[in-house]
Amino acid sequence: MDKVELLRYTPDGEKLVAAAARLCYSSSGVSEIEEKLTEDKVESFLSLLMDLNHESPIEHVTFTFGIEGISRTLTHQLVRHRIASFSQQSQRYVKLEQFEYIIPPAIANNKKAREIFEKAMREDQKYYDEISNLLFDEHYNKYIEEKFDEKEARNRAEKESIEDARYIFPNACETKIVFTMNARSLMNFFRLRCCNRAQWEIREIATLMLKEVKKVYPILFKNAGPGCINGPCPEGKMTCGKMVEVRERFK
């Protein structure tokens, strides 16, 4: 899997949005509306909706992404977008024999900083292994004393040992996640996370996600991107001051 993969999306999504929006202003039934919506009509009507920022009908369209090779720093930010569904690799049930980690570019490009960072990661793995082994022995002996058979005692002891040992892992720890958002939530996500003021990692992922959805529904997402591409910068005094450059990048 690539770093960002669009796994599923609502089929005929742009036509669905156009039909739902038409229904709001029509005495006709849904089937009749859909039958009358030619491809040209869908394109022109949907384009008008997007220019008017009439976003409630686009909630009917959903997108499911799979993302790997990202840090828990990123997913802590991602799950704050609450109108979505998330399934993330668990550190409680998955024992990390050798955890992968994400190195921020500023650290990767600084030799001394990188040496310190990588040493810290090695030490985290070492301490995780030591703590999980110590706790495993303690829990295993307890379950044997409680008359559990050896297999069940081992399974319970491993689960309980790693669910506490994981506390030592850093935010840099690599993770994997599958999540689903509707198009309106994605619009909001792109406005916030494609912005230059967003943290570098989630901004990179948001930009890749935007490219993926534009491939399948270009009209629906024709105005999607950071908040400044369709008007004044919403960041006020915190603006990056690079609106022209940003608009060129996302046009």
CATH number for 38 = 3.30.1360.170
What range does the domain containing 19 cover? 4-88+174-250
What proportion of the chain, given as a percentage, has pLDDT over 70? 99
| Statement to judge: residues 119 and 65 lie in one domain | no
Q: What is the pLDDT of residue 155?
A: 93
Q: Supply the pLDDT for residue 134.
A: 96
Element (H, E) at 147: none
The alpha helices in the chain, defined as continuous H runs, are: 13-23, 30-36, 39-51, 72-78, 105-108, 111-145, 150-165, 183-193, 200-216, 243-250
Q: What is the pTM of this model?
A: 0.90
Instruction: Please check whether residue 239 lies inside any domain of the structure.
Output: yes
Active site residues: 193
For 93-135, how does the pLDDT look when each residue is reduced to its tens digit (9 = 90+)? 788 888 899 999 999 999 999 999 999 999 999 999 999 999 9
pLDDT of residue 35: 87
Mean residue pLDDT across the chain = 93
Answer whether residue 218 shows pLDDT above 70: yes
* Local confidence band at 1 (pLDDT 50, 70, 90 cut-offs): very low
The answer to whether residue 15 scores a pLDDT higher than 70 is yes
Residue 100 lies in a domain: no
Q: What confidence score (pLDDT) does residue 2 get?
A: 53
Residues in the chain: 251
What is the total count of domains within the chain? 2
Structure token pair of residue 76: 């802590």
- Please check whether residues 158 and 51 belong to one and the same domain: no
d(CA 116, CA 32): 66
Write down the pLDDT at residue 28: 85
Give residues with Cβ within 8 angstroms of 2, minimum separation 6: none
End-to-end C-alpha distance for the chain, whole angstroms: 27
Judged against a pLDDT cut of 50, whether residue 24 lies above it is answered with yes
**160 & 234 share domain:** no
